[in-house]
Structures are given as structure tokens and as C-alpha cells.
Amino acid sequence: MKKTIISVLVLCNILNASPELNTGEKVFKAYCWGCHHQTSVAFGPSFAQMANKRTIGEIQGHIISPKAMYKQLGHKRSVMPAFGDKLSQKEIDLITEFILSFKGAI
Ligand code: HEC
């Protein structure tokens, strides 16, 4: 009986396996890498530049809704897609931590 319960639990876990990414680096590679690099400027600013001058609130605000934030951050236009509906809060926290880990890297 115990074994059956454990098997059912394991199966539920597999079927429910959420596609949520579990490290900031994975979120970065899946969604940001095409436009942002860690320490060099790509299509958008580097993570090190962001970490050096932005607060957590500014970074998360821009990830969730670039259209609402870009002027406040001094950008003339906004071409970055919004990630508010693509990423979970957990993924946003992980990618923010990853960005901030480059503080002082340039
Ligand atoms: C299609 C290209 C593109 C993608 C993909 C993209 N960005 Fe951006 N990002 C930009 C550009 C260009 C800017 C400059 C402002 C703007 O266009 O909104 C920017 C600006 C930012 C800023 C504000 C930087 C600052 O200090 O002013 C943050 C934070 C940011 N991006 C985070 C991310 C994260 C995290 C991801 C992945 C989840 C991501 N971006 C994906 C192009 C992109």
C-alpha cells in the first residue's frame, strides 16, 4: 500500500513537472541572451551596466513592463518585449539576482 502511494505521488510529480526554470542563468539563456550579454553591450545594455546603476525595483519593473519604464530609465524608445506574462515571479526574482551578481564586473 505504501509503495502504491509513493508510486502515485512520483507519477503525479512527473506529470505536473512545471516548465519553470530554476536558475537565473537558465532564464537568461532562454529569454534574454539574444539581446543582453553579461558584461558587454549587445542589442540592449549589459547586465553589469544594469547592476551598477539600477535598483531591484527598476530592473523588475522593466522586465515586467518595459513600455512603462523605459522613459524613467532614460531610454528614448523601447523595443524590448514585456516578460510580465511569460515569466513567473520566481523566475523574475532569479533573473534579477543573476543580473545583480554582475555588479562591479565592469
Ligand atoms: C528583443 C531584444 C531583447 C530581449 C529578448 C530582452 N531585452 Fe532587455 N532590453 C532590450 C533593449 C533594446 C533595452 C533598452 C530599453 C528598451 O528597449 O526597452 C532593454 C532594457 C532592459 C533593462 C533596463 C536596462 C537599464 O538599466 O536601463 C532590463 C532590466 C532588461 N532589459 C532586462 C531584460 C531581461 C531580464 C530579459 C530576459 C528575460 C530581457 N531584458 C530580454 C532588449 C531586449
Domain membership flag for residue 76: yes
Domain of residue 96 covers: 23-100
Domain membership flag for residue 73: yes
Domain membership flag for residue 9: no
Domain membership flag for residue 88: yes
The residue contributing the CA closest to ligand 1 atom 42 is: 80
The domain spanning residue 57 has which CATH number?
A: 1.10.760.10
Are 35 and 106 in contact, with CB atoms under 8 Å apart? Answer: no
- The position carrying cell 516578460 is 83
Q: Residue-wise pLDDT tens for the chain (106 aa)?
A: 666 655 654 554 455 555 799 999 999 999 999 999 999 999 999 999 999 999 999 999 999 999 999 999 999 999 999 999 999 999 999 999 999 999 999 8
Per the structure, the count of domains in the chain is 1
From 80, 85, 94, 100, mutation site for ligand 1 pocket: most ligand atoms within 8 A of C-beta: 80
**pTM of the predicted protein model:** 0.88
Say what the alpha-carbon torsion angle 38, 49, 53, 93 is, to the nearest 10 degrees. -20
36 lines ligand 1 (CB under 6 A): yes
Domain membership flag for residue 87: yes
Are 48 and 39 in contact, with CB atoms under 8 Å apart? Answer: yes
CA 84 centroid distance within chain: 10
Domain membership flag for residue 79: yes
Exposed/middle/buried for residue 78 (C-beta within 10 Å: 0-12, 13-18, 19+): middle
Query: In the chain, how long is the greatest CA-to-CA distance?
Result: 64
